[in-house]
Structure 1
Amino acid sequence: MLARLDIRDILIIDHLVLDFRAGLNVLTGETGAGKSILLDALGFVLGWRGRADLVRQGAAQGEVTAVFDLAPDHPAFAVLRAAGFPDPEGELILRRVNTGEGRKSAYVNDRACSGTVLRALSDVLVELHGQQDDRGLLDPKGHRALLDDFGGHDRLRREVASAWRARAAAQSALETARAEVAAVAADEEFLRHAVGELDALDPQPGEEAELDIARRRMQAAEKIRADVARALQALIAPDGGAESLVVDATRWLEGVAAEADGALDAPIGALSRALVELGEASDGTERALDGLGVDPLELERTEERLFALRGLARKHGVAADDLGGFADTLRARLNTLDAGADRLQGLEQALAEAEAAYAAAAGALTAARRAAAGRLDAAMADELAPLKMERAVFGTEITPAAPGPDGADQVTFRVATNPGAPAGALNKIASGGELSRFLLALKVCLTAGTEGLTLIFDEIDRGVGGATADAVGRRLQSLAEAGQVLVVTHSPQVAALGAHHWRVEKTVQADVTLSRVVPLAPPDRVDEIARMMSGDVVTDAARAAARALLDVA
């Protein structure tokens, strides 16, 4: 229940505090007195869209505070918990500030919050309804959601939405698989040839580097072997090698050494040592030459494989070490093609099952909607009779629509104001007074069973008078017995039925226009209702009529 509304520096209000109560609260006043400003201020603190220039001229900022008394199980607690706010202790206080520059800030129990949180709270705290139907009753696009709320179809709607997502996922998977198979099929010849080449070569990681090192080693051995062979020939050739020449020189010197008186002993010893060193050099060179033996066929095979690896790498635009992984990728694409038929069949089956599940869920929701439509139509008939529209017919039309996450139904509220007259949309068929009563009846039906919701009706009685206005007022009075209803009205019949009455009036102080709201005691109510009946000049007859209205209220 809305307990208090505190408004500071909003439009032509400097400071105003309204303490509302349970039951039927009525606000009256002359046109232009500021009744709509109160609703603008309430909408502002609840995060609704509205006019931007709210701050009173000359003020630095405007501020609105709304205080709500909540039952322990009020749905506002769930909204607060979802937004990360603690449960309020006692009152729920919403406050919103608007600076002169247009910056807005909002608070829940003095903790900063977003406009989104405010709007979520407003959905469970307050419902504003007027002849212009800002809550969507006249818009057929919202009728399906309204019927679902009336029927309590939350679980069925969740099941339909889940089935729709599963169906969409299955459809997407099938389309993706079909595209993959089609793409592979277009490249099948290339893939099979490339995989055949790669499988035949069987490239291994690191193989290119190993082959390159081996090739370089064999090429280097081929190049130096000739020089080593020539060196060995120079050392041991029997017809002129170094060893042979040293042997000859030694033999010649030894032949004349006896006659040289020892002069040749040292040279002969050096030559003997040289023969030993030459022998070691010859042996080492021969061993090195044996180690440098290169098989020309091995070099050729090494070069052929190295060139084959590098050729395939260039052909496919990958590193030689990545050829094995590239082959696996191509092979996987071929497997996609080879297994494509079975895979597609499985995905088609999954899609068929998902479509069947969606059809079943949507069908259950359609059946529930049709049952709820019957209950709503019956409830509307019960509500229209007390509103002097017992001959009018309200009908909820359900027709097939394109399947979607909300089901496969189009829901439209249609009315016929007279027997035999064609049914049509609410805003196309009903006159102003009829429309007000249709919307009031519909609002009563749609909010039945909703607890803790403050209903606000902005001139819902416009266009009606006399007994019809009295019927509208009594329905509002009955509706208020279970909670709180606020009514902005110009109808004396409705005003007389209020349990609590405020008059909105405009004053001019020092050339400044201000709006204020005055709670009315019983004598003051007589004068206000008399004014509503007679205009500026309140006559004794008008006062007598006002007392009569209040006596029977």
Structure 2
Amino acid sequence: MLSHLSIRNYLLVEAVELDFGPGLTVLTGETGAGKSILVDALALALGDRAEGGVVRQGAARAEIAAEFSIAGLPELARWLDAAGVAADDDVLILRRVIEANGRSRAFINGSVSPLSQLKEAAEFLLDIHGQHAHHALLRAQTQRDVLDAYAGAQQQAAAVGAAWHAWQAARQQRHDAAAHGQARQIEREGLQLAVEELCALGDDLARWDEIQAEHGRLAHVTTLLEGSQALIGGLDEDESSISGVLAGLSGRLAEMRALDESLGDVAQLLEAASADVAEAALDLRRYADTLSLDPERLAELDRRLADMHRLARKHRVQPGALAPLLDQFMARLAELGADDDVEALQAKEDTAWAQYRDLAGKLGRTRRRAADALAGQVSAAMAELALAGGRLEIALVPSSEPRAHGLEDVQFLVASHPGIASGPLAKVASGGELSRVSLAIQTALSGVAGVPTVIFDEVDVGIGGSVAEAVGRRLARLGETRQVLVITHLPQVAARGSRHLRVAKQAKGGFVSSNIESLDAAARVEEIARMLGGIRITSTTRQHAAEMLAG
């Protein structure tokens, strides 16, 4: 239940704090005072997108916070737990901050949240019926959605839609296989040839770097051998080799060291240098032993590298990318083979169709059970709304073909008076009659909905007199089981409220603002009298207003 609403710097509202309770709350005010501001602000707190210019002139930001008591809402509690939102003391606060530059932030219980989470939370809390909802009722989709909502079949309908799309995808896959078989055959033959050419290279595809390195050594083996021998000679074997020079220098240093022992460190350095030269010469001899002229191996590597370069040019890739390219080609061949398995594709389509047909059949049975109940409830309400003898019929007409919404189309047929044949809403009902039928449907839906709060934004436009009294009674009765907020211009409806809020414009400091206040008993009499008599309020209108409130 909505327990508190705070609005700051939103449109004409500077600052408003409102407390709410159970039952029927009515909101009234003169035309143009901004009665719908409250609903629009609340919708922002519930996740609606903010349009530009909603921040009050001169303010940096607008802020709307809606506080809900959520005791006794187990589904919402499970959703909050899954979303990682803590609900302290069975209280949920949805808050929206909108900057003057158009940017906005959303919060759930003080934690930053995406708008999508606010919308999901709102689905457990509140329904808003706008003043033009009856126009939407003329659309076939809206009529189907109304019936599904009344039947509690929204999840069933969603499952049917998903099954229909899965069936269509399987069907399209089979059609494509039949229609494009020749093109796939050509693609498959080309891929098969490419795979055979690449597979002929064997393990060489994955050894590109290794083969390149070996080819480089074989191609320059003569140069490497000559260089190795020259280095070995210079280090150890020639008459003037470095090892011989170092040996001579070491002998001369030994003579000097006999005269001065402080040359010991220099002697150690010369010994280390001689050892390093000997080790280098040994390593070069080992390396030279591994080198040998092998013209046949070199020719083989030349051929392999040429084949890899040729295929790389053919497929417009680097030689090192041939191995992953082969994997791609083989995966695509597997896909093409699966697409050509017509029997498997047909079986997949048949399975998808059977699942859709089963789900759609169950949905149709649910709709048929709910259609009679909803039609009866709305017809009874129509009698209260000065449409005595009128009736609503809900026809389930088999679709010409299976559709995402099921195997039947939903049609609302209405007869506004006894003895008149029922027909489509758009052709039979007048504007006022359509508004009353819409109100009857909305209250019927609200009676079965799981949300604890329902808001009606001037859905009583175009009616008056005894019909207005009937509307007021019906809304008050709904308030016995739901928290109901009604924005109205009818005194007959306003008099039925257990609480009364009034919106008024006032000028302050050169700015015009809207103020929302809660009315006490005396103020309610004055407001109902204003609604009855207009500008000039007399003792008679006050007395009439008091009688309406007392009745």
| TM-score normalized with structure 1 length | 0.72
Amino acid at match of 2:528: I
The answer to whether the 8 Å contact 1:202/1:324 transfers is no
The corresponding residue for 2:467 is 468
CA distance in 2 between counterparts of 1:333 and 1:65 reads: 56
8 Å CA contact retained: 1:12, 1:513: yes
Corresponding residue for residue 385 of structure 1: 383
Supply the distance in 2 between the matched residues of 1:76 and 1:212 (Cα, whole angstroms): 71
Percent identity between matched residues is: 37
The reply on whether 1:142 has 2:139 as its aligned counterpart is: no
Q: 1:362-415 deviations in whole A, cap 9, x for unaligned?
A: 222223223322222122112212222123232334341664544344334343
Residue deviations 1:200-229 (CA, integer Å, cap 9, x gap): x8967489999999x999xxxxxxxxxxxx
Question: Quick one: structure 1 residues 148 and 354, their matched pair in 2 at CA, closer, same or farther if it must change by over 3 Å?
Answer: same
For 1:101-140, list aligned pairs within 5 A.
101-133=101-133, 136-140=136-140
CA distance in 1: counterparts of 2:543 and 2:484, whole angstroms = 27
Superposition pairs of residues 410-489 of structure 1, within 5 angstroms: 410-418=409-417, 419-421=419-421, 423-426=423-426, 429-489=428-488
Distance in structure 1 (CA, Å) of the matches to 2:136 and 2:90: 33
Counterpart for residue 244 of structure 1: none
Contact kept? 1:203, 1:309, Cα under 8 Å: no
Residue type of the partner of 1:126?
L
Change (3 A) 1:315 1:443: closer
Please list the CA deviations of residues 52-87 of structure 1 after superposition, one character each: whole Å capped at 9, or x if unmatched. Answer: 322222223222222211223254334433433123
**457-466 or 40-49: which moved more?**
40-49
The answer to whether the 8 A contact 1:23-1:480 is kept is yes
SS in 1 for 2:123: helix
Residue 355 of structure 2 aligns to which amino acid in structure 1?
A
Distance 1:309 1:515, change over 3 A: closer
Q: Is the 8 A contact 2:150 2:449 kept in 1?
A: no
Contact 2:70 2:91 in 1 (8 A): yes
3-state SS in 1 of match to 2:57: coil
Larger radius of gyration: 1
User: What is the CA-CA distance between 1:328 and the residue it aligns to?
Assistant: 10
Aligned to 2:514: 515
For 1:335 and 1:63, the matched residues in 2 are separated by 58
535-544 or 481-490: bigger deviation:
535-544
* Aligned equivalents of 2:463, 2:545: Cα separation in 1: 18
- Unaligned runs of 5+ residues in structure 2 are 221-291
Contact 1:451 1:483 in 2 (8 A): no
CA distance in 2, matches of 1:376, 1:184: 54
CA 78–140 in structure 1, closer or farther in 2 if over 3 Å, else same: farther
SS in 2 for 1:434: helix
- Give the structure 2 partner of residue 20 of structure 1: 20
1:8 is aligned to: 8
CA distance in 1, matches of 2:305, 2:298: 11
Deviation at 1:314, TM superposition (A): 3.6
Seen in structure 2, the aligned counterparts of structure 1 residues 156 and 103 have a Cα distance that, compared at 3 Å, is closer
Counterpart in the other structure of 1:77: 77
What secondary structure sits across from 1:34 in the alignment?
A: coil
- Contact 1:433–1:461 (8 Å) recurs in 2: no
Of the structure 1 ranges 412-421 and 380-389, higher mean CA displacement relative to structure 2 is found in 412-421
Q: 1:501-524: per-residue Cα shift (whole Å, max 9, x none)?
A: 222222334443332233222233
User: Could you tell me which residue of structure 1 aligns to residue 235 of structure 2?
Assistant: none
Secondary structure of residue in 1 paired with 2:47: coil
Instruction: Tell me by how many angstroms 1:443 deviates.
Output: 0.7
Residues in 2 aligned to 1:437 and 1:313: alpha-carbon distance in whole angstroms: 81
Distance 1:499 1:367 in 2: 40
Partner of 2:369: 371
Map 1:120-519 to 2 at 5 A. 120-133=120-133, 136-164=136-164, 166-168=166-168, 170-171=170-171, 174=174, 182-183=182-183, 185-186=185-186, 205=204, 314=310, 317=314, 343-399=341-397, 400=399, 403-418=402-417, 419-421=419-421, 423-426=423-426, 429-519=428-518
CA deviation after TM superposition for structure 1 residue 113, in Å: 1.8
Q: CA deviation at 1:476?
A: 0.3
CA positional deviation for 1:306: 8.1
Q: Is the 8 A contact 2:123 2:451 kept in 1?
A: no
C-alpha RMSD of the superposition: 4.3
Give the AA of the match of 1:4: H
Partner residue, 1:251 = none
Q: Deviations over 1:450-473 (max 9, x none)?
A: 244211112222222221111110
Please give the alpha-carbon distance, in whole angstroms, between the structure 1 residues aligned to 2:475 and 2:125.
18
Distance 2:321 2:535 in 1: 96
Superposed displacement of residue 424, structure 1: 2.3
State the shift of 1:127 in Å. Answer: 1.6
Whether contact under 8 Å (1:506, 1:513) holds in the other structure is yes
Query: Shift of the alpha carbon at 1:47?
Result: 2.5
**SS of corresponding position for 1:95:** strand
TM-score (norm 2): 0.72
Query: 1:392, 1:417 within 8 Å by CA — same for their partners in 2?
Result: yes
Report the 3-state secondary structure (helix = DSSP H, G, I; strand = E; otherwise coil) of the residue aligned with 2:112: strand
1:43–1:50 Cα contact (<8 Å) kept: no
Where does 1:42-81 land on structure 2 (aligned, <5 Å)? 42-49=42-49, 51-81=51-81
Tell me by how many angstroms 1:158 deviates.
5.0
158-167 vs 303-312, greater mean Cα deviation: 303-312
Q: Distance in 2 between matches of 1:202 and 1:117?
A: 57
Which residue identity is paired with 2:500?
H
Q: Secondary structure at the match of 1:124?
A: coil
Contact 1:164 1:358 in 2 (8 A): yes
* More off after superposition, 151-160 vs 307-316: 307-316
**Match of 2:459, SS?**
coil
Deviation per residue, 1:451-498 (Å, 9 max, x gap): 442111122222222211111100001000002111111211111111
Q: Counterparts of 2:537 and 2:454 in 1: how far apart (Å)?
A: 32
* Distance change >3 Å, CA 347–CA 512, structure 1 → 2: closer
Q: Whole-Å Cα distance in 2 between the matches of residues 488 and 47 of structure 1? A: 21
Counterpart residue type for residue 109 of structure 1: N
Larger mean CA deviation between 61-70 and 188-197 belongs to 188-197
* Equivalent in the alignment of 2:265: none
| 1:81-138 per-position Cα deviation (integer Å, ceiling 9, x unaligned) | 3433123323222222223332322222222222222222222222222331199544
1:525 aligns with 2:524: yes
Query: Structure 1 348/211 Cα, relative in aligned 2: closer, same or farther at 3 Å?
Result: farther
Distance apart, 1:440 and its partner CA: 1.3
Give the drift of 1:51.
4.9
Higher mean C-alpha deviation, range 324-333 or range 372-381: 324-333
Deviations 1:131-150 (A, max 9, x none): 31199544433332332221
CA-CA distance at 1:543 after TM superposition: 2.0
Preserved CA contact (<8 Å) 1:126 1:454: yes
AA paired with 1:380? V
Aligned pair count? 474
CA deviation string 1:247-270 (max 9, x = no partner): xxxxxxxxxxxxxxxxxxxxxxxx
Question: How many angstroms apart in 2 are the aligned matches of 1:329 and 1:433?
Answer: 66
Counterpart Cα distance in 2 of 1:159 and 1:460: 33
Distance 1:203 1:452 in 2: 68
Question: Which amino acid is the alignment partner of residue 387 of structure 2?
Answer: M
Question: For the Cα contact (< 8 Å) 2:364–2:407, is it kept in 1?
Answer: yes
Corresponding residue of 1:95: 95
Q: For residue 268 of structure 1, what is the aligned residue in structure 2?
A: none
Which SS does the other structure have where 1:170 is aligned?
helix
